[in-house]
Structures are given as C-alpha cells and as structure tokens.
C-alpha cells in the first residue's frame, strides 16, 4: 500500500528558529487516554474491555469534528500493541509510550497500523486492497489495525465489499472507523461494529485545557478570553486550539497576552455587557437607543446576525436562571448575577415571546440582502410588540366576552451591565399577573380551549373542589386525584397564566364534580319536562313511550 494511501504524507512546515512549527492542535494531540478530555465514559468502557480481554474486532467512533475520534483510534491502536518498556507487556489501557510500537504509532510510521482517509479513497479498489492485505499476519505488532477516517464517504460498493471481512475478520485484524456523519453509514456496517459516541467537550473543561496549553507555551491569557474561545469552539478541542493559536499570534503582534477584547475583535463577537445593555433598551421601549447600540456593534465589525444570536443567548440564559437551572461555570460571575436579577423581573410568557421575535429576526437577517437594515427592523418590531397585549391574555378576554382592553405591562428598564444597581421601575411580575377565571368550572373551560382536552375531562369527572382561590386550589382527599394529574394540571396552568399554582388535597368532602353537577342539572331538567302537562298527556296516551335524547331533540326543534 502506497504512502499516499496510508495518509502519512505531510506538507513541509516553514522553519522557525531551526525547527518546524507545529500548530497547537497537532502539538497537543492527546498521547494517553488520561489526556483525552471529556470522554470519561468511553475510556472506562475500553479499560474494562481490555482488562477482561473482550476486545471487539471493529470500533466505530462518531461525534462532531475535533472531539478526538482519530486520536482515540490511534490510542486504541497503541493500547492493543503496546509491549511495555521491557518488551514483555500486553494490551493495556495505559500504553507506555516508550516501546517501539508506541513510538512508531505516535509518529505514524508503524507498518501494521494503516490509516486511510475515506474522503479521498472512496472506491471498491481501495477496500479490495485492504481485504487482500488483511489476510496476512502482522509483521511486528500484536494486531494489524486499520484506521479509516470519515468512513461515511465510502461508496456503496466499497461498503458492500467490506461487509464479509468486517463480520468475520482474521483474529489478528482490528478495524477502527471514525465519522462525523454516522447516519450515512449503512446499518449493515453499524451492526458489525462496537459504537462509541464521543461527546462535545464542555466549555469549562475546554477553558481549563486552553489555560494549561497557554502555561506550557509561556503565554498569558485572560480567563474571559479563554472562556470566549471555549464557547466559540462549540465543544471541539481542535477548533478551540486553532482559535487559540490565532489569538496567540495576534497577541505576539501586540506585544501582550491573549485578551478578551482581542478575541472579540478577532472573532467578530459582540461584547456581552453591550448585549445586555441592548436588551434592556429593547425592553424599556427606547427605539433610538436600541438602534444606536446596534449600529455601534456593527461599526466595531460585529455581524448583525451575531448580535441577534447574542441576544438569543441572553434571553435563553435569563430563562434558565428563572427555572433554577445549574449555572455555567464558564460564565462570568457578573453575567450570572445579571441573569438572576433579570429573571426575577420578567415572566415566562414575556421571555418566550421575546425568544420567538428574536428567532424570527435572526432567520430574516440570515436571508436578507440588507442585513443591518433587516436587523434594525427586527429590533423595532420587538419595541413595538411591547406595547401590544399578550396573545394569551387577549384570548382569555375574548373567551370571557369582555370588551375592555387588556392592560399591557411594560418590562422594567433595567441595565443588566450593572446588576447591583436598583431597578428603575418595580418588577413587572405583579403588573403582568393575568386575570384568573372566576370559578373552577370556568378554569376547566379555559384548559379545554387551550387544547388540554384530556386534562379538562379528568378534572371535570374526578375533581372535587374544597376551595378555589387562584392561584391556589384545594381538592378533596375523599376522592383522590392522581399525582400525575395534579402535576400536569399545575404545569398547564402555569403555561396558560404565567403564574405558579399551588394545588393540594385536604381530607374534606368538597363540592360535587363538574360532571356530577352537569348530570344533576340534566336530570332536573328532564324531570321538569316529564312533569309538564303536555308530556304527561302523551305518556298517558302512549304508555310504552319513553323520553330519549330530549335535549338533542329539543335543540333541533
């Protein structure tokens, strides 16, 4: 097999100080499983398999770019072929890195570890060459290992040609496949492999890794700068190291370390404090101020779509803070405090509405011929929407037959860049408190109108109300309601009204159910009909006659 097929040819790097410069993504490629960050579950599985001598004949490694698929494949090859410093060792999850097989595999020159890029070798002829070579025993290693990167690029004929060998390979052969698009790999191949899904690396772990790299490189870097790079990497160590490499080069030109401002300028990111100020301007209804803030970001080189994306991230962060989600350790402390402060002032309906408006604007900017103008129109739509009544509130007013206009609660005009300052206006939670249904029957009717048909039926048939004082309802424990029904009701009411409801049960009789009340009313009306002179005369004239479906007949009369 030629060197080009093996994928071992590398371009000559320019010299710097007598040495070929290696980019950080290659220089800090993990050489042990312990250095493989963010993939602890996979490492544990491989460790158990090696210790128990239950090593599969084929592995499929999948995940987004830069999470360590190819590096893991090479580490598995080293683990299977390591002989230890004394030459008498066996397969191990901790390859020594000193023996000849370990060094040769790390340097990409081991004759029994063959790497192939399926993106450039897609045909059946390439696979046929592998099949023929796999029949022969390894030259010097314990196992002959074939690493096929981007395996989903193989042609249908190539996959079919590989199936038989992949299902019943010789005992000395192991196949290691890597792909970013596992959905394109035939099911017949998937069923013959042990699959590992490599996870995106969390931003906090990436930031720690980048800090260690900077220390090794003798470069100073601000924690916020590393956090920005970690977020921009989107879970990919390779992408993050490439960005860090660029940031270090940028810092060298400036004669300083890697700063957050330099990273923002380099990546075209919007300043997060400026984003919070822009969001506050939108919610306060300051249209000129919001447009001026957007233009400032645009003049700094920030893409309009990036501004809207940053606003979406801010709204998402506030929403997570409102529901009490775990805080992101990579998030700056002042931003966490700002989100917590804002979460107390904005209701769920308002946050969801804001999210939808921003998402629509983001999509429009992505397709627009005039991006900055489209972004301005999207922000003006948000400012205008704050003066409109909430759609849910309006629907309730219409369902109740009310003609007065619902009140519109304006959000607090609070600048989140200074979260410790006192809010300019009172928190809008009380102002946005919706009008609750006057009776339990009206509340169940509203659930029905909002698409909660099955829940409304269960409440109408099984709920006996002891007291109804929105947003609190006490049900009778003499006819218990299922716990899941209570939880589902609380969730539905919170989504419908934007307010947390307290539902409980008490050992008291309570009122009759809505179904029982309706049945009693229908029976009373039926008896009234039977007691009418006309019906009495008819029944006397026709003794075998019955009164059936009388409400329907009456309504159709």
pLDDT in tens, 277-287: 888 888 888 88
Quick one: which of 274, 314, 277, 304 has its CA closest to 375?
A: 304
> Which single residue is written with the structure tokens 């040819």?
9
For 122-139, the pLDDT digits (tens) are: 889 989 988 888 888 888
Classify residue 445: in a domain, yes or no. Answer: yes
Same domain, residue pair 153 and 179: yes
Same domain, residue pair 500 and 537: no
Q: pLDDT at position 449, please?
A: 87
Average pLDDT for residues 251-274, to the nearest whole number?
A: 74
Q: pLDDT at position 152, please?
A: 92
For 348-358, the pLDDT digits (tens) are: 888 888 999 99
Same domain, residue pair 499 and 518: no
Q: Give the least confident one: 35-49, 283-297, 366-380, 481-495.
A: 481-495
% of the chain at pLDDT higher than 70:
82
- C-alpha dihedral over 211, 214, 220, 222, to 10 degrees? -30
> Does 238 have pLDDT greater than 70?
yes
179 — pLDDT class (breaks 50, 70, 90): very high
Q: pLDDT at position 147, please?
A: 93
Q: Residue 289 is encoded by which pair of tokens?
A: 């101020």
> Does 409 have pLDDT greater than 60?
no
> Does 36 have pLDDT greater than 80?
yes
Q: pLDDT at position 396, please?
A: 62
**Are the beta carbons of 299 and 270 closer than 8 angstroms?**
no
Q: Give the least confident one: 31-40, 353-362, 489-498, 522-531.
A: 522-531
Average pLDDT for residues 301-322, to the nearest whole number?
A: 89
> Does 344 have pLDDT greater than 60?
yes
Q: pLDDT at position 415, please?
A: 36
Q: pLDDT at position 400, please?
A: 61
For residue 84, the domain's CATH number is: 3.40.50.300
Provide DSSP, 137-158: PPSSSSSEEEEEETGGGS-HHH
Q: pLDDT at position 492, please?
A: 87
Q: Identify the residue with better confidence: 334 or 519.
A: 519
Classify residue 419: in a domain, yes or no. Answer: no
End-of-domain residue from the set 235, 267, 299: 267
Same domain, residue pair 455 and 497: yes
Stated length of the chain: 557
Same domain, residue pair 228 and 311: no
End-of-domain residue from the set 376, 399, 422: 399
Task: Pick the most confident of 92-106, 319-333, 395-409, 530-544.
Answer: 92-106
Q: pLDDT at position 373, please?
A: 93
Pairing mode, strands 472-476 and 502-506: parallel
> Does 363 have pLDDT greater than 90?
yes
Average pLDDT for residues 85-99, to the nearest whole number?
A: 87
Q: How many domains does the chain have?
A: 5
230 — pLDDT class (breaks 50, 70, 90): confident
Q: Give the least confident one: 143-152, 163-172, 444-453, 479-488.
A: 479-488
For residue 207, the domain's CATH number is: 1.10.8.60
Classify residue 284: in a domain, yes or no. Answer: yes
CA distances from 89 to 51, 92, 385, 450 (A): 13, 8, 70, 68
First CA to last CA distance, the chain: 91
Same domain, residue pair 159 and 256: no
For residue 499, the domain's CATH number is: 3.30.300
Residue 224 CA, chain-centre distance (Å), reads 23
Report how far residue 275's alpha carbon sits from residue 300's, in angstroms, rounded to the nearest whole number: 13
Same domain, residue pair 100 and 23: yes
End-of-domain residue from the set 343, 374, 399: 399
For 41-88, the pLDDT digits (tens) are: 888 888 888 888 888 899 999 988 888 898 899 999 999 999 888 888
Residue 189, C-beta contacts closer than 8 angstroms, at least 6 positions apart: 60, 151, 159, 162, 163, 166, 177
Classify residue 415: in a domain, yes or no. Answer: no
Mean pLDDT of the residues in the chain: 81
Cis omega (within 30 of 0) for bond into 357: no
Average pLDDT for residues 154-170, to the nearest whole number?
A: 89
Q: Identify the residue with better confidence: 518 or 13.
A: 518
> Does 397 have pLDDT greater than 70?
no
Classify residue 404: in a domain, yes or no. Answer: no
Classify residue 409: in a domain, yes or no. Answer: no
Q: pLDDT at position 178, please?
A: 93
Burial 253-282 (b: 16+ CB within 10 A, else e): eeeebbbbebbbebbebbbbbbbbbbbbbb
Average pLDDT for residues 427-450, to the nearest whole number?
A: 72
**Are the beta carbons of 362 and 308 closer than 8 angstroms?**
yes
For residue 308, the domain's CATH number is: 1.20.272.10
Same domain, residue pair 467 and 358: no
Same domain, residue pair 379 and 486: no
423 — pLDDT class (breaks 50, 70, 90): very low
Q: Identify the residue with better confidence: 422 or 222.
A: 222
Classify residue 91: in a domain, yes or no. Answer: yes
Same domain, residue pair 183 and 41: yes
Classify residue 411: in a domain, yes or no. Answer: no
Same domain, residue pair 113 and 60: yes
Q: pLDDT at position 414, please?
A: 39
> Does 537 have pLDDT greater than 50?
yes
**Are the beta carbons of 302 and 268 closer than 8 angstroms?**
yes
Q: pLDDT at position 542, please?
A: 67
Same domain, residue pair 551 and 493: no
Q: pLDDT at position 312, please?
A: 92
> Does 172 have pLDDT greater than 80?
yes
Average pLDDT for residues 180-204, to the nearest whole number?
A: 89
> Does 297 have pLDDT greater than 60?
yes
Q: Which domain holds residue 484?
A: 440-506
Q: Identify the residue with better confidence: 194 or 331.
A: 194
**Are the beta carbons of 426 and 404 closer than 8 angstroms?**
no
311 — pLDDT class (breaks 50, 70, 90): very high
Average pLDDT for residues 431-439, to the nearest whole number?
A: 67
For 1-13, the pLDDT digits (tens) are: 444 333 344 444 5
For 376-395, the pLDDT digits (tens) are: 999 999 888 766 666 666 56
Q: Give the least confident one: 308-317, 341-350, 361-370, 384-393.
A: 384-393
Quick one: which of 266, 267, 275 has its CA closest to 296?
A: 275
- Residue 302 CB-density burial (10 A; 0-12 exposed, 13-18 middle, 19+ buried): buried
């Amino acid at each position: 097999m030629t060197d080009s097929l093996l994928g071992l040819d590398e371009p000559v790097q320019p010299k710097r100080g007598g040495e070929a410069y290696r980019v950080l993504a290659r220089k800090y490629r993990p050489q042990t499983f312990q250095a493989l960050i963010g993939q602890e579950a996979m490492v544990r599985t491989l460790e158990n398999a090696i210790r128990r001598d239950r090593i599969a004949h084929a592995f499929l490694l999948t995940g987004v770019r830069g999470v360590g698929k190819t590096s893991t494949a090479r580490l598995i090859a080293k683990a299977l072929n390591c002989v230890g410093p004394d030459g008498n060792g066996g397969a191990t999850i901790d390859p020594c890195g000193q023996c000849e097989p370990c060094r040769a595999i790390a340097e990409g020159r081991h004759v029994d570890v063959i790497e192939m890029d399926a993106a450039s070798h897609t045909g059946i002829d390439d696979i046929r060459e592998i099949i023929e070579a796999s029949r022969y025993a390894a030259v010097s290693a314990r196992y002959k290992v074939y690493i096929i990167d981007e395996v989903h690029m193989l042609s249908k004929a190539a996959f079919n040609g590989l199936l038989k060998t992949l299902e019943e390979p010789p005992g000395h052969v192991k196949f290691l496949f890597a792909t970013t698009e596992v959905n394109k790999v035939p099911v017949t191949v998937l069923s013959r492999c042990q699959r590992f899904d490599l996870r995106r690396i969390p931003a906090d772990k990436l930031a720690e890794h980048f800090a260690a790299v900077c220390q090794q490189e003798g470069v100073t870097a601000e924690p916020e700068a590393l956090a920005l790079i970690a977020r921009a990497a989107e879970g990919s160590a390779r992408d993050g190291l490439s960005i860090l490499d660029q940031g270090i080069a940028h810092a060298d030109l400036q004669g300083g370390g890697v700063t957050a401002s330099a990273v923002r300028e380099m990546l075209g990111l919007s300043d997060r404090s400026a984003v919070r100020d822009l969001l506050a301007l939108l919610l306060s209804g300051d249209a000129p101020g919001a447009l001026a803030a957007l233009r400032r970001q645009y003049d700094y080189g920030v893409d309009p779509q990036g501004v809207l994306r940053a606003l979406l991230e801010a709204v998402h962060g506030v929403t997570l803070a409102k529901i009490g989600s775990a805080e992101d350790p990579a998030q700056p402390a002042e931003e966490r405090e700002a989100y917590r402060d804002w979460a107390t002032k904005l209701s769920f309906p308002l946050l969801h509405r804001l999210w939808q408006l921003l998402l629509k604007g983001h999509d429009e900017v992505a397709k627009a011929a005039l991006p900055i103008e489209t972004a301005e129109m999207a922000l003006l739509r948000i400012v205008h929407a704050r003066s409109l009544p909430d759609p849910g509130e309006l629907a309730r007013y219409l369902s109740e037959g009310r003609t007065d206009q619902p009140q519109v609660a304006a959000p607090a005009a609070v600048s989140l860049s200074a979260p410790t300052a006192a809010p300019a206006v009172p928190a809008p939670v009380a102002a946005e408190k919706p009008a609750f249904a006057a009776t339990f029957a009206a509340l169940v009717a509203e659930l029905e109108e909002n698409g909660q048909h099955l829940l409304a039926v269960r409440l109408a048939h099984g709920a006996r109300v002891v007291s109804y004082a929105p947003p609190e309802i006490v049900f009778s424990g003499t006819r218990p309601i299922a716990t899941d029904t209570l939880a589902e009701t609380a969730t539905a009411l919170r989504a419908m009204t934007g307010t947390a409801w307290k539902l409980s049960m008490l050992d008291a009789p309570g009122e009759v159910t809505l179904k029982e009340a309706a049945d009693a009313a229908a029976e009373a009306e039926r008896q009234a009909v039977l007691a009418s002179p006309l019906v009495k005369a008819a029944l006397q004239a026709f003794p075998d006659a019955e009164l059936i479906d009388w409400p329907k007949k009456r309504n159709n009369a």
